[in-house]
Amino acid sequence: MFEQVQQDLRGVRQVFATSRRHWTTGRQLRSKWRAAQEAGERIVLDDFGPPIPSPGPDEPIADFSPKTGVKDRKSHLMTLDEYPSINYAFEVKNPPVSGNHINGLGETEHRRASPIFHTWQFGHPMGKLEFLFQGIRSETEWIALLKRQWLSRRFSGEKSDVQVPVDDPAAMTEQIKQLTRDAGAVMVGIAPLTEDMLKEEHPFDYPHVISFGVQMDREAALQAPSEHAGLTIQSEYRATDRISAAVAKHIREMGWDAEAAIHSLIQIPAAIEAGLGQLGKHGSMISKELGSMYRLGAIVTNLPLVLDSPEDIGVDDFCARCQVCTTNCPPHAIFDTKQMVRGRERWYVDFDTCIPYFVENHGCGICIGVCPWSEPGRGEAFSIKQLALRKKRAEAAKEN
């Protein structure tokens, strides 16, 4: 009881701090940005928010301009008559160090990812863009965000003093997966937690991660970018927060450590290791069940569980020949070929090009809406076809 009161007080403090930050920083910026949008002018972001670090002598600076020379397409699936313009109502006179450099684009050594956006600290290199992103939220969006803040008080807590022994990890795994599905998850898997799934400053305390996905509202997602799509995403994130908090609490009540891994974990690598899908060219995971129409959540724990493993469903082969997301991305941020990032060859989205469009429109997600795998009922068939084609090609190569 005492612990619950403490958790609630923590939640009130968080909500209060977030609101205060918003009211003191956001209102003035929002009105200036809206006026600039209407007048077809630009505000200079350098004039707002805390100072940000200047690039070092050997560090590349960010280029926020949209790319040119790529074919433009507008998918008939997306509901807006046309995509919002790539002429932004803001500019940055002194660009910071490139986000791609921070992300490790071109680096051949493996390392953990560094936090770069959604940090709420604003003193980081992308702080000016994040300051604008947080500042221009509508009141309705703001309330949705505060609801998530309030939920976050339940992400961790004390475990029971009495530990339930786990004699049959397979049965326990099934029980936990069923609990997660009953709470609203459509897909769930277990992966070993590895250090590189955690953001740089977070400790590595647990052996396992339970990764799950809830279904996105496709109709709302196809209206992106729009306030309705953004609000729907907030409510979907709230659903993943609720499931994570409930499953973590259940495990703690059995006397094992567990916490909802919302802010510490990089969700996509964990979900891929848990067998939920594969990385697509658009930088999101693609699953057989939902394509990219899901939101991920996770719980880290030391409860003994049986691990799943990554599954090859043929996404790589498909993406190598598809350009739907690259041509539909308005600022053309999606690389058409795999890039070396922190020691691994992988699909990659140019951070410096995507983020300004994302900020100006207060969210985007066109790339996941247009992906053919996101069309209901198509993923399973795509997977079967890609794997069969690959087998056929391998057999033909053997014969030659």
Residues that bind ligand SF4 (CB under 6 A): 280-282, 318-319, 322, 324-325, 329, 331, 333-334, 349, 354, 357-358, 364-367, 371-373
Longest dimension (CA), the chain: 73
In whole angstroms, give the CA distance from residue 72 to residue 87.
Answer: 15
Helices (H) and strands (E) in the chain, counts: 13, 10
In the block, tokens 């994130």 appear at: 237
Q: How far is the CB of 323 from ligand SF4 (least distance, A)?
A: 6
Residue 39 vs residues 135, 356, 359: alpha-carbon distances, Å: 19, 19, 19
Choose between 176 and 285: whose C-beta lies nearer to ligand SF4. 285
Q: How far is the CB of 26 from ligand SF4 (least distance, A)?
A: 22
Would you say 144 and 238 are in contact if contact means Cβ atoms under 8 Å apart? yes
Q: SS3 of 298, please?
A: strand
Q: How far is the CB of 358 from ligand SF4 (least distance, A)?
A: 5
Length of the chain counted residue by residue: 400
Q: How far is the CB of 354 from ligand SF4 (least distance, A)?
A: 3
Would you say 148 and 241 are in contact if contact means Cβ atoms under 8 Å apart? yes
Q: How far is the CB of 49 from ligand SF4 (least distance, A)?
A: 22
Choose between 47 and 380: whose C-beta lies nearer to ligand SF4. 380
Q: How far is the CB of 331 from ligand SF4 (least distance, A)?
A: 5
Choose between 15 and 368: whose C-beta lies nearer to ligand SF4. 368
348-353: long-range contacts, CB 8 A cutoff, minimum separation 24 = 348/105, 348/283, 349/282, 349/283, 350/67, 350/100, 351/98, 351/99, 351/100, 351/102, 351/103, 351/116, 352/62, 352/63, 352/64, 352/98, 352/99, 352/100, 353/63, 353/64, 353/65, 353/66, 353/67
Choose between 14 and 75: whose C-beta lies nearer to ligand SF4. 75
Choose between 322 and 340: whose C-beta lies nearer to ligand SF4. 322
Q: SS3 of 135, please?
A: helix
In the block, tokens 């937690």 appear at: 193
Choose between 96 and 314: whose C-beta lies nearer to ligand SF4. 314
Q: How far is the CB of 176 from ligand SF4 (least distance, A)?
A: 30
Choose between 226 and 302: whose C-beta lies nearer to ligand SF4. 226
Choose between 245 and 268: whose C-beta lies nearer to ligand SF4. 268
Q: How far apart are the first and last CA of the chain?
A: 72
Q: How far is the CB of 274 from ligand SF4 (least distance, A)?
A: 20
Strand pairing category for 43-44 and 90-91: parallel
